[in-house]
Amino acid sequence: MSDNPVDGFNATIHASNRLRICALLDAVAEAEFSVVQERLEVSASVLSKHVSVLIDTGYVQQRKAVRDTRQRVWLQLTSAGRAAYRDHVAALRAIVGEAP
């Protein structure tokens, strides 16, 4: 692995909504899909599309369970997703000249 933080730039995470999803999930153990949707102020279909990309890359995992007689979905960053997100943030800081 390179010592240059800019090498951590991640085009998959960089998309605005995916970056916001990762930022939100980095701060918690997991979050319910509807909470993420509300915080990002996007439709369920938009969130689902971006979450699918993150799941396909192995950065996010989802857990489904019944709560209050309704099926709910919880999202969480995987360890690979957390590392990729943090590397991406470090790369952005390096690009704009901030120390990590």
CATH assignment at residue 22: 1.10.10.10
Nearest residue to 5 (alpha-carbon basis) of 88, 81, 96: 88
How far the first Cα of the chain sits from its last, in Å, is: 17
pTM over 0.85: yes
Residue 66 has a pLDDT of: 87
- In-domain check, residue 79: yes
Three-class secondary structure of residue 90 per DSSP: helix
State the residue range of the domain holding 11: 7-95
Residue 100 is assigned to a structural domain of this protein: no
Domain count for the chain: 1
| Distance from the Cα of residue 67 to its chain's centroid | 23
**What confidence tens digit (pLDDT) does each residue in 72-92 have?**
999 999 999 999 999 999 999
Tokens found for residue 7: 């090498």
pLDDT one-digit tens code per residue, 6-28: 888 999 999 999 999 999 999 99
Q: Considering Cα of 47, then 52, then 55, then 56, what sign does the dihedral take?
A: negative
- Note whether residue 2 is domain-resident: no
